[in-house]
Chain A
Amino acid sequence: MVLPRSLMSSLPEAHDAEVTPGPDLGRAIEVSVVVPVYNELENLSALHSALTYSMQQVGRPYEILVVDDGSDDGSREVLRQLSAEDPNLRVVLFRRNYGQTAAMSAGFDYARGTTLITMDGDLQNDPADIKRLVEKLDEGYDIVCGWRRNRKDAYATRLLPSKIANFLIRRTTGVPIHDTGCSLKAYRSWVVRSLNLYSDMHRFIAALGAGLGARIAEVPVRHHPRLFGESKYGLGRIFRVLADLVVIKMLIQFAAHPIRWFGLLSMPLFFVTPFLFFLGLFKLRSTGFELITLADIVPDVVDGSPRDRVTWDAVPITAAAITLLVAINVGLLGFLAELQLKVSRFFRRRIAVAATEASR
């Protein structure tokens, strides 16, 4: 999608730092703040005014894109009212509750800015930090993550699991982010446009983005305890996080060739096979181990009577056959994965997005 520069008159020009209050209809939106909310009635108007204030501090044409994930506590009416009065506030109302990832991906679908900010609707993030994120992005990064250095959460139920998870995520993905769970993040739009979010994938945008070649930075942000409402997470996600991590690792490292990932998975089995086979070559006798010889294997037909000879330890040989079989099977699953990737339009789309960005 090559477009002459003359046509792209709506793309951001060099921006001045002056504060533009009120509706700013003349210029195209640069910054979209995506806020998924679900039953945040008490927080909404505080959130809106805090965001409006800090976006004016940022001083660029912006929009606040609230995605209401099917609230039934009257949030919708409040949003309706707020957006009627504020041309910078767009609201996407879901038909019902679809969960945070869906809300996030709707936010990305409908955002118009070239810079996207995500944050929670519960005011635990401080909108004033957006300015720092945007400035960091300007230094040439594609993703800037918030890092809640002083988290105001219960230690055992939230902080500790989060620390363990973050440690694991850092180790496996190699992306040096301390606080994956922090929703306050800034992205260039191409990063999220290249990704399709599903299930809990929004937690890993940074890691997946790194797989796409995005440059990533981290900025410490403030964190407030919840003002109203109750927290919507719980404990007991560690296994799920682990499973997700394996997937993320596969996606960022081996997305182009999943067969290698499966090769890696089948490796242990491949190594076990000769070891088991080797075990089978030893027969245990009262005197200790004894390696079988060819003469032991070939049946003695000369005198017809059984002689005291060493034979295979049959069980490990059987096991070796099984592990070899399964190792090959697992490797072949990688072939299936490869096929799936080939028939999907995944790479075509990714290339298209990258090319669009390159042309800008």
Chain B
Amino acid sequence: MSGIGGFVSVVIPLTSSEVDVRGLIEGYSEPLRSGGYEYELIFVLDGVRGGITNDLEAAAGDHPIKIVRLQGEGLGEAIALSAGVARARGKLIVNAPQYLQSDPADLLKVVQAMETGADFVATWRHPRVDPWLNRLQSRIFNWMLRVIMGIRFHDLNSSLRGMRRQVLEEVNVYGEMYRFLPVLAQRQGFRVVEVKVRHREEKGRRGFYGVGVYVRRVLDILAITFLTRFTQRPLRFFGMLGFLTMTVGVAFAGPPLYWKLIGEDGLSNHPIFVLGMILVAFGFQLIGFGLVGEIIIFTQSSSFRDYKIDEILEGGSEIDLVPQPGALPTQAADGSENGSDLPITVRELVPGEDARWDAFVTAHRDGTFFHLTGWRRVVEETFGHESHYLVAEQGRKWVGVLPMFWFKSPFVGNQLISVPYGVYGGVLAADQAAQDELLSSADRLGRQLGAEYVELRHLGERPGEREKNVLYLTFFRDLPQTVDEVMPSIKKRARAEVRKARDRHGLRFEESTDIGGFFELFARDKKRLGSPTLPYRWFRNLTEEFGRQVVIHRVVDQEERTVVAVMSFCYKDRVYAYYSGADERSRGTGANDFVYCKIMEWAVKQGYRVFDFGRSRRDSGAAKFKKNMGFEPSTLDYEYLLLADDAKMPSFNPSNPRLTKPRQLWAKLPLFMANSLGGKLSRYLP
């Protein structure tokens, strides 16, 4: 991200196709350009039909635009904004309306306010030039807010807003809450400022807002007050309310009861006694609700780690805490200073060190997506395998890590795998000493657990000799600099397929968030190949854990049916096209070549440098396909520490001839059966 001017992502939700897109693009680009900013315009299509994509692309010219199409329609601004921000590159986000209601030049004001330190910039259209009824409604609405909730904003309906990305990461917006973003942001402790913008007659928009709009908003205000104040400690709210209700109840019911007891008067002459008792009982119920709330909060509290860290300062900055790998062996020059003469010790990762682990993996040359602690959480959550994440320390400096899972299965036996379900894994160490220390710890741990061997899914050479399995090849290559160079970089035959898919079959490529749709194709594909599928849960957990690092792309045909879907992981400078599924209808349409070509183009556009096509067995059809796409195979020799005396190299893989029959059988199972069985089986298949 460049320093001067900065990078601004403008997110524009579109709900109507009758929008002057050229005017929008020009209007929003102009001030940013003149202000010297780098920027992108992200159009989020919320239920817009028709050729608006083409219009946008035609109007874009050399303006950098992205188009995000939401599935379903009328999802609302909150979802549109989140979806747009998910694709945004900048830290400064401007949310702009689809009608130019304010002077576009005011966009600059908003951006500048953020640059001077505001986390959120609300705008105030002043003076207004709306129809009088809108103005009146808006004024009443804002006045109510001020009086009821003490909100000091003048114009919550103005949809031109600026915010830092972190605001949206922390403030949960949904539904109409979107309006109150500035309020929510302020409640959470962000710096919110308001700037005046000039109001323009809205082009393309006529008429009045209905009164119902405001009724809904008032309800939203109530919901917000409630949620922001009382969700953390429900009993404080419900308890108070319940206590008050009971007090009132006792006040109503007490005197008649007293009269009855002393024989003064029958209760039937005082029906208020019933009301009193209802209130008392209701008070109990309210307290009960509060307690249920507390239990929910208590049991779920681990999921709101409600703080975000800017930075961790490790003491004594002269000590290099995340060593730069590659310098083999130890840097002896400054050895005394960073404690290289100390012994290396190995221990397990303790809770709270996940961030440090991930930082180590990210800094290490060989660190892959599968080394991250997120992978651990997803595997544990989905399959419940026991994990052993080892850290090698020299003094307090980390010199190596080794993630492992203890995998016991009737198919592959008892083993430690680094890491299952991932194609890469293994040791990440600063030098050979650390690596050896980690491997001997793994060896000891493995024996302790009664494992037959330790499988290290190493990508790239590690020093030392170990048993190898030469089953797999892996495919990755550097991406070209520009999008236009992607096509020429693949082989001629594949290129023809891509063209066929695009021109003859009219296939369209897009990003998607539809895990279900992806899973359907993936599972059916797997079954056809005779392998058990991974459970749906796995993919959902992946997307939940990694967020924007997991992307789904899909290709739809002219009837809007998804024919190919690919789930990719993005980490460091690399895009891993990892899971895919194709519809049988896509056969012969070139959809497969098309989707990968497009993902490569997407990756280039997003600034990634390496495209990782993943592993394939030697001489398999997939390997051939990848070669056709212009990839050269690299060997991917999984390495093994054999632990048991009679341990043999594992031979359980789909090319094993013993498995041919079961695979054919599997392919014949009904899909629902294969899916549910496969999801359970996959626990035992690393």
| Stretch of B64-72, B440-448, B674-682 at the chain-chain interface | B440-448
A29 to B305, CA, bound (A): 25
Q: Chain A's nearest CB lies how many Å from the CB of B402?
A: 11
Q: How far does the alpha carbon of A273 sit from the alpha carbon of B253 in the complex, in Å?
A: 14
- In Å, the complex CA distance between A23 and B308 comes to 29
- CB-based contact B295/A108 at 8 Å: no
> Beyond A2-B448, A110-B353: 7 further Cβ-contacts under 8 Å?
A92-B312, A102-B306, A110-B352, A199-B297, A247-B233, A323-B281, A333-B289
- What are 20 A-B contacts defined by CB distance under 8 Å? A2-B448, A4-B445, A9-B345, A25-B339, A84-B313, A84-B316, A92-B312, A93-B310, A94-B308, A106-B309, A110-B312, A265-B284, A269-B284, A272-B277, A284-B266, A316-B260, A319-B277, A322-B277, A330-B285, A333-B292
**Chain B: minimal CB distance from A281 (Å):** 12
- Asked whether any CB of chain B lies closer than 8 Å to the CB of A266, the reply is yes
**Interface status of B190 (Cβ within 8 A of chain A):** yes
Q: Does B495 contact A (CB under 8 A)?
A: no
B174 within 8 A of A: no
A42 CB within 8 Å of chain B: no
- Please measure, in the bound complex, the distance between the C-alpha atom of A28 and the C-alpha atom of B392, giving whole angstroms: 12
Find residues 266-312 in chain B having any chain A CB closer than 8 Å to their own CB: 266-268, 270-271, 273-274, 277-278, 280-282, 284-285, 287-292, 294-302, 304-312
A28-B345 contact, Cβ under 8 Å, with A90-B314, A268-B284, A284-B266: yes
Confirm or deny: A171 has a beta carbon within 8 angstroms of a beta carbon on chain B: no
Contact: B232 with A112, CB < 8 Å?
Answer: no
Let me know if A318 and B274 touch, CB within 8 A. yes
Q: Are B263 and A289 in contact (CB under 8 A)?
A: yes
Q: Which of B274, B299, B397 makes the CB contact (< 8 A) with A341? A: B299
Q: Which residue of B lies closest to A3 (CB)?
A: B348
The 7 closest A-B pairs by CB, nearest first: A87-B316, A25-B395, A344-B299, A326-B281, A319-B277, A109-B352, A196-B301
Q: How far is the CA of A153 from the CA of B666 in the complex (A)?
A: 75
Interface 9-residue window, one of B207-215, B234-242, B517-525: B234-242
A183 vs B463: C-alpha distance in the bound complex, in angstroms? 50
Given known A-B contacts A10-B345, A25-B339, A322-B274, A87 and B281 have beta carbons under 8 A apart = no
Which residue from chain B places its CB closest to the CB of A8 in the assembled complex? B347
Least CB distance from B257 to A in Å reads 8
Chain B interfacial residues counted at CB < 8 A: 83
Quick check: B348 and A7 within 8 Å, CB to CB? yes
Contact of B312 among A1, A90, A323 (CB under 8 A): A90
Tell whether B317 is near chain A: CB-to-CB under 8 Å.
yes
Looking at the assembled complex, report how far the CB atom of B229 sits from the nearest CB atom of chain A, in whole angstroms: 12
Q: Does B51 contact A (CB under 8 A)?
A: no
Residues in A whose Cβ lies below 8 Å from that of B305: 105, 109
Given the complex of chains A and B, what is the CA–CA distance between A244 and B294 in angstroms?
10
A98 contacts partner chain B, Cβ-Cβ < 8 Å = yes
Could you say which residues of chain B place their CB within 8 Å of the CB of A25? Answer: 319, 339, 342, 395-397
Q: Is the Cβ of B268 less than 8 Å from the Cβ of A313?
A: yes
Cβ of B50 under 8 Å from chain A? no
Q: Which residues of B contact A111 (CB under 8 A)?
A: 352
Count: A-B pairs, CB below 8 Å: 252
Q: Once the chains bind, are B308 and A288 in contact (CB under 8 Å)?
A: no
Partner of A4, one of B268, B280, B395, B448: B448
Chain A residues with CB under 8 Å of B282's CB are 326
Q: Which of A26, A265, A272 contacts B342 (CB 8 A)?
A: A26
Selected contact of B317 from candidates A2, A70, A83, A323, CB within 8 Å: A83
Which residues of A does B touch, CB under 8 Å? 1-4, 6-11, 23, 25-26, 28-29, 63-64, 70, 79-80, 83-98, 102-103, 105-106, 108-112, 193, 196-200, 239-240, 242-244, 246-247, 250-251, 258, 261-262, 265-266, 268-269, 272, 276, 279-280, 283-284, 288-289, 313-316, 318-319, 322-323, 325-327, 329-330, 333-334, 336-337, 340-341, 344, 346, 349
Q: Indicate which residue in B296, B316, B353 contacts A23 across the interface (CB closer than 8 Å).
A: B316
The answer to whether A198 and B304 touch (CB under 8 A), given A3-B445, A26-B339, A279-B260, is: yes
Say yes or no: A269 contacts B319, CB within 8 Å. no
Collect the chain A residues with CB atoms within 8 Å of residue B314's CB.
83, 90
Can you name the residue of chain B whose Cβ is closest to the Cβ of A348? B384
Which of B190, B260, B287 is within 8 Å of A265, CB to CB? B287
Check B235–A246 contact: CB distance below 8 A.
yes
- Which of A87, A97, A265, A319 is most buried by chain B, counting CB atoms within 10 A of its CB? A319
Chain B residue with the shortest CB-CB distance to A88: B315
* Residues in A whose Cβ lies below 8 Å from that of B449: 2
Tell which of B233, B290, B307, B345 touches A94, judged by Cβ atoms closer than 8 Å.
B307
Q: Is B410 an interface residue (CB 8 A)?
A: no
A340 and B292 form a contact (CB under 8 A): yes
Q: Mark B234-263, 1 if CB is under 8 A from A, else 0.
A: 011001100000000000010010001001
By the criterion CB–CB under 8 Å, are A1 and B388 in contact? yes
Decide: A196 and B291 in contact? CB cutoff 8 A: no
With contacts A7-B346, A93-B310, A315-B267 taken as known, whether A84 is within 8 angstroms of B317 at the C-beta atoms is: yes
Q: Are A112 and B292 in contact (CB under 8 A)?
A: no
Chain A residue at minimal CB-CB distance from B282 = A326
Decide if B393 is an interface residue (CB 8 Å cutoff).
Answer: yes
Partner of A198, one of B306, B308, B444: B306
Nearest CB in chain B to that of A242: its residue: B239
Q: CB distance A315 to B350 under 8 Å?
A: no
The answer to whether B289 and A7 touch across the interface, beta carbons within 8 angstroms, is no
A109 touches B351 (CB 8 A): yes
* Complexed CA–CA distance, A89 and B319 (Å): 12
The answer to whether B386 has its CB under 8 Å from any CB of chain A is: yes
Contact check, A95 vs B319: say whether CB atoms are below 8 A apart: no
Is there contact, CB below 8 Å, between B316 and A86?
Answer: yes
**Are A93 and B295 in contact (CB-based, < 8 A)?**
no
Residue of B nearest to A111 (CB): B352
| A contact residues around B306 at 8 Å (CB) | 98, 102, 198
Nearest CB in chain A to that of B314: its residue = A90
Answer whether A10 and B393 are a contact pair too, CB < 8 Å, given A269-B284, A284-B265: yes
Whether the Cβ atoms of B240 and A239 lie closer than 8 Å is: yes
